[in-house]
């Protein structure tokens, strides 16, 4: 017998991946853990008979010859699969998008890639084989894909996730039903916790990133905390958040979210024995190992050691800067710009920056004789300079605030370079200048 299973606290990606495998490999039985997320539970209460799935206690382990594991690669995250762990006569396949290197399930075949949702890997294979899906199957697969990619908006989303979504929509996936189950049950208790977090935010700044740290004591089990933490980060406009939920006197669960490439919460949570992705991760920590204040200290220590060096203005500026004296004629300036293929020159006198002339300023010339006039008459005197250690994002803010495209870079009163809109855009879009 062939079975497919996934992790406890099953989310839609895990459930969709289980169901996807039962469709892709007919005859495979889906084994869904007893503990599933609240929204998955709600979905299963009305839909479970539509799929080839059973709970683990209904499984006859002796008959299993092949095990497919989806959305995890760790034994401890599976439900009641211990009986299979030591059997070497079972063929094991893994489909997963967690790349944290914690995997301890031995495998005969695996498909493990960085992608928004595990189910996208399975859908990619369905597309390849031309599998036809009915609207119900398409909808559950879309639920998994949308949940793990935030409707294709999370930074982890790849082109393959989008192709997978297109395929499911072609096969009749129902967006209304998907929306019904993806909108989390948001009740008073979640709202109270959100307000408590907003009131007690402790924010720390590391390398210009603002990180929120919170500790919340739970007096009962609360579902959908991950959704609340995600919402909290967005409302407070924090680059990353780490919320420690004290479950009881035995353990705490840290839920972390990041909205920037500069902070990899998955790597931090991995150090605490948990896991996840760069943007979303969690860890459960035993109190005897670390108390909640110690957890926060440890997170801060890990963040400091992780810190990636940001590019500074000095790294993206252009230099040397072409400078002309104020008596240069407009014709000469135009010739210099054409010869050097640049869009602006600074007008300087000694160390002093008097103004700037950019390509645009030539439009001011209406009469032929004006070409022989001094640049002084046409230059813009509005000069905003930046220091070399400023961040590119600050240069972009100054450009939009003052509506200017060139910022001289000044270090200790000396002009050392110039940063243009093109330099900033090139940096943000990761395009290498040619
Ligand atoms: Mn997943």
- Encode pLDDT of 225-265 as tens digits: 888 999 899 999 999 999 999 999 999 999 999 988 889 99
- The pairing of beta strand 2-5 with beta strand 28-31: parallel
**More confident call, 230 vs 121:** 121
Nearest to 241 by CA among 254, 224, 222: 254
| Phi (first) and psi of residue 132, to 5 degrees | -95, 135
Q: How far is the CA of 27 from the centre of ligand 1 (A)?
A: 24
310 pLDDT more than 80: no
Across residues 26-45, what is the average pLDDT? 93
Q: Which residues of 56-83 are buried (b: 16+ CB within 10 A; e: fewer)?
A: beebeeeebebbbbbbbbbeebbbbbee
Q: How far apart are CA 202 and CA 205, in angstroms?
A: 10
**Contact call for residues 35 and 28 (beta carbons, < 8 A):** no
Q: How far is the CA of 72 from the centre of ligand 1 (A)?
A: 8
Q: How far is the CA of 7 from the centre of ligand 1 (A)?
A: 10
Q: How far apart are CA 421 and CA 403, in angstroms?
A: 11
Q: How far apart are CA 434 and CA 424, in angstroms?
A: 15
Q: If DSSP states are collapsed to H, E and C, what string results for the chain?
A: CEEEECECCECHHHHHHHHHHHHHCCCEEEECCCCECHHHHHHHHHHHHHCCEECHHHCCHHHCCEEEEECCCCHHHECCCHHHHCCCCCEEEEEECCCCCCCCCCCCEEEECCCCCHHHHHHHHHHHHCCCCCHHHHHHHHHHHHHHHCCCCCCCCCHHHHHHHHHHHHCCCCHHHHHHHHCCCCCHHHHHHHHHHHHCCEEEEECCEEEEEEEEECCCCCCCHHHHHHHHHHHHCCCEEEEEEECCCCEEEEEEEECCCCCCHHHHHHHCCCEECCCEEEEEEECCCCCHHHHHHHHHHHHHHHCCCCCCHHHHCECCCCEECCCCEHHHHHHHHHHHCCCEEEEEECCEEEEEEEHHHHHHCCCHHHHHCEHHHCCECCCCCECCCCCHHHHHHHHHHHCCCEEEEEECCEEEEEEEHHHHHHHHCCCCCC
Across residues 394-410, what is the average pLDDT? 91
Q: How far is the CA of 297 from the centre of ligand 1 (A)?
A: 29
**Contact call for residues 385 and 353 (beta carbons, < 8 A):** yes
pLDDT at 432: 52
Q: How far apart are CA 7 and CA 15, in angstroms?
A: 9
How many CB atoms within 10 Å of residue 385? 15
366 pLDDT more than 50: yes
Q: How far is the CA of 2 from the centre of ligand 1 (A)?
A: 22
Burial of 54 (0-12, 13-18, 19+ CB in 10 A): middle
pLDDT at 184: 62
308 falls in which pLDDT band (50, 70, 90)? low
203 falls in which pLDDT band (50, 70, 90)? very high
> Which of 213-217, 261-265, 307-311 is least confident?
307-311
Q: How far is the CA of 71 from the centre of ligand 1 (A)?
A: 5
Q: How far is the CA of 281 from the centre of ligand 1 (A)?
A: 11
Q: How far is the CA of 157 from the centre of ligand 1 (A)?
A: 12
433 falls in which pLDDT band (50, 70, 90)? very low
Q: How far is the CA of 179 from the centre of ligand 1 (A)?
A: 18
pLDDT at 431: 60
351 pLDDT more than 50: yes
Give me the residue label for tokens 């860890």.
283
Q: How far is the CA of 96 from the centre of ligand 1 (A)?
A: 7
Q: How far apart are CA 14 and CA 12, in angstroms?
A: 5
Q: How far is the CA of 117 from the centre of ligand 1 (A)?
A: 5
21 falls in which pLDDT band (50, 70, 90)? very high
Q: What is the pLDDT of residues 263-283, one digit of tens each?
A: 999 999 999 998 888 889 999
Calculate what percentage of the chain has a pLDDT beyond 90.
Answer: 71
Across residues 96-123, what is the average pLDDT? 94
Q: What is the mean pLDDT of the chain?
A: 92
Q: How far is the CA of 280 from the centre of ligand 1 (A)?
A: 11
Q: How far is the CA of 338 from the centre of ligand 1 (A)?
A: 54
Q: How far is the CA of 63 from the centre of ligand 1 (A)?
A: 28
pLDDT at 23: 97
Q: How far is the CA of 13 from the centre of ligand 1 (A)?
A: 5
Q: How far is the CA of 97 from the centre of ligand 1 (A)?
A: 7
> Which of 9-13, 79-83, 188-192 is least confident?
188-192
Q: How far is the CA of 356 from the centre of ligand 1 (A)?
A: 53
188 falls in which pLDDT band (50, 70, 90)? confident
Q: What is the pLDDT of residues 128-178, one digit of tens each?
A: 999 999 999 999 999 999 999 989 988 889 999 999 999 999 999 999 888
Across residues 21-32, what is the average pLDDT? 97
pLDDT at 434: 46
Give me the residue label for tokens 């289980």.
18
Q: How far is the CA of 16 from the centre of ligand 1 (A)?
A: 10
386 falls in which pLDDT band (50, 70, 90)? very high
Q: How far is the CA of 118 from the centre of ligand 1 (A)?
A: 5
Q: What is the pLDDT of residues 311-342, one digit of tens each?
A: 889 999 988 899 999 999 999 999 999 999 98
| Interhelix angle 175-182/135-149, nearest 10 degrees | 50
Q: How far is the CA of 332 from the centre of ligand 1 (A)?
A: 62
**Contact call for residues 385 and 351 (beta carbons, < 8 A):** no
Q: How far is the CA of 54 from the centre of ligand 1 (A)?
A: 20
Q: How far is the CA of 197 from the centre of ligand 1 (A)?
A: 26
pLDDT at 204: 93
Domains and CATH numbers, the chain: 2-182 (3.90.1640.10), 188-308 (3.10.310.30), 314-429 (3.10.580.10)
Q: How far is the CA of 78 from the centre of ligand 1 (A)?
A: 14
């Amino acid at each position: 017998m062939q079975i497919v299973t996934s992790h406890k606290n099953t989310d839609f990606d895990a459930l969709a991946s289980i169901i996807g495998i039962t469709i892709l490999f007919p005859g495979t039985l889906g084994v869904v853990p007893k503990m599933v997320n609240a929204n998955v539970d709600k979905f299963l209460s009305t839909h479970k008979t539509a799929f080839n799935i059973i709970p683990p206690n209904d499984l006859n382990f002796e008959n299993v010859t092949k095990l497919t594991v989806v959305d995890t690669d760790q034994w401890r995250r599976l439900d009641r699969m211990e009986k299979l762990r030591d059997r070497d006569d079972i063929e094991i396949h893994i489909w997963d998008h967690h790349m944290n290197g914690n995997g301890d399930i031995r495998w005969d075949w695996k498909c493990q890639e960085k992608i928004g949702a595990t189910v996208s890997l399975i859908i990619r294979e369905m597309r390849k084989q031309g599998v036809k899906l009915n609207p119900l199957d398409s909808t559950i697969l879309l639920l998994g894909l949308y949940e793990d990619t935030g409707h294709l908006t999370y930074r982890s989303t790849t082109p393959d996730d989008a192709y997978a979504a297109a395929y499911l929509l072609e096969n009749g996936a129902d967006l209304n039903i998907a929306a019904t189950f993806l909108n989390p049950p948001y009740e008073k208790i979640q709202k109270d916790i959100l307000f408590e977090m907003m009131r007690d935010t402790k924010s720390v700044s590391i390398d210009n990133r603002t990180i929120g740290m919170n500790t919340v004591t739970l007096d009962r089990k609360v579902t959908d905390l991950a959704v609340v933490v995600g919402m909290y980060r967005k409302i407070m406009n924090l680059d990353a958040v780490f919320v420690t939920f004290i479950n009881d006197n035995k353990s705490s669960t840290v839920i972390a979210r990041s909205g920037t490439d500069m902070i990899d919460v998955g790597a931090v949570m991995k150090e605490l024995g948990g896991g996840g992705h760069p943007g979303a991760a969690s860890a459960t920590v035993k109190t005897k190992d670390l108390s909640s204040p110690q957890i926060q200290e440890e997170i801060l220590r890990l963040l400091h050691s992780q810190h990636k060096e940001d590019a500074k203005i000095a790294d993206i500026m252009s230099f040397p800067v072409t400078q002309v004296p104020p008596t240069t004629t407009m014709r000469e300036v135009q010739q210099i710009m054409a010869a050097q293929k640049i869009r602006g020159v600074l007008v300087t006198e000694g160390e002093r920056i008097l103004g700037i002339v950019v390509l645009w300023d030539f439009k001011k010339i209406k009469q032929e004789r004006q070409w022989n006039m001094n640049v002084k008459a046409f230059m813009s005197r509005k000069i905003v300079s930046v220091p070399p250690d400023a961040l590119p994002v600050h240069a972009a803010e100054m450009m939009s605030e003052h509506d200017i495209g060139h910022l001289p870079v000044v270090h200790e009163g000396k002009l050392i370079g110039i940063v243009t809109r093109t330099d900033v855009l090139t940096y943000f879009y990761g395009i290498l200048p040619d």
